[in-house]
Amino acid sequence: MMKITIAFFIAVASAALFSTTLYAQTVFYVQSVKAKVLSGPSFKSKVLGEVGKGFKFVSSGRDGNWVKVRLDTKEGYVSALLLAPHPPIQRAGVIKAEQGEIKQGIRRRASSYTSAAAARGLAQDDRRRLSREEKADYPGLEKMESFTLSDAELRRFLEGGK
C-alpha cells in the first residue's frame, strides 16, 4: 500500500513538473484589438487587466478554452479565442496578392473549369450543376470586396449609434 502511495506521488510530481516545463514553452500573442485577463477561466471572473493586440504571453497551462497566463505578478486566464501561437500577421501580404496578378489568374481560371470538368469526365449531374447552379459571379464578388466602412462609421456603430 505504501509503495502504491509513493508511486502515486512520484507520478503526480513528475507529471506536474513535465506539464509545467512544456506549458512554459508555449507562447501566445493577442490577435484581437483587446484582450481581458481574468482571475479565473470564466467571463464572470474578476478582470485583472487588459492588453492590446500583439501582446505576448508565456502560457503556464490551459483550462478548456482558457489559457493560463501571467500578467505582471498575477496569474490569470485569457480566452483562447483571442490568441494565436504567432504574432499578429499584417494584412499587407494578402492585399498585395489580391491585386493584379491574382485577379488575372482567377479570370483565366474561370474558363479552365469547363475543360477541367471535361478532362476528368464529370457525371452529367455534376456538369449541369457547374453550368447552371454553380456559375461564378466575379463582378458580384468584386462588388462585395469593394464595400468599405470608415473607421468613424464603425466607431459610431460600436458606441451604439446607427
- Subset of 43-102 contacting another protein (CB under 8 A): 43-45, 53, 62, 64-65, 79, 81-86, 88-91, 93-95, 97-98, 101-102
Place of cell 459610431: 156
Nearer to another protein, 72 or 95 (CB): 95
How far, in Å, CA of 31 to CA of 51, rounded? 11
Residues 143-162, mask of contacts with another protein (x by CB under 8 A): xxx-x-x---xx--xx-x-x
Q: Which of 46, 72, 121, 137 binds another protein (CB under 8 A)?
A: 137
| Contacting residues for 141 by C-beta, under 8 A, at least 6 apart | none
Identify the burial level of 35 via C-beta atoms within 10 angstroms of its C-beta, where 0-12 means exposed, 13-18 middle and 19 or more buried: buried
What torsion do the CA atoms of 43, 45, 50, 52 make, to the nearest 10 degrees?
A: -30
Min separation Cβ 74 and another protein, Å: 19
Size of residue set near another protein by CB under 8 A: 78
Nearer to another protein, 33 or 72 (CB): 33
Where are the extended beta strands (E) located within the chain? Answer: 27-30, 34-38, 47-52, 56-58, 61-63, 66-71, 74-79, 83-84
Min separation Cβ 70 and another protein, Å: 17
Min separation Cβ 73 and another protein, Å: 24
By the rule CB under 8 A, 121 interacts with another protein: no
How far, in Å, CA of 96 to CA of 102, rounded? 9
Min separation Cβ 71 and another protein, Å: 17
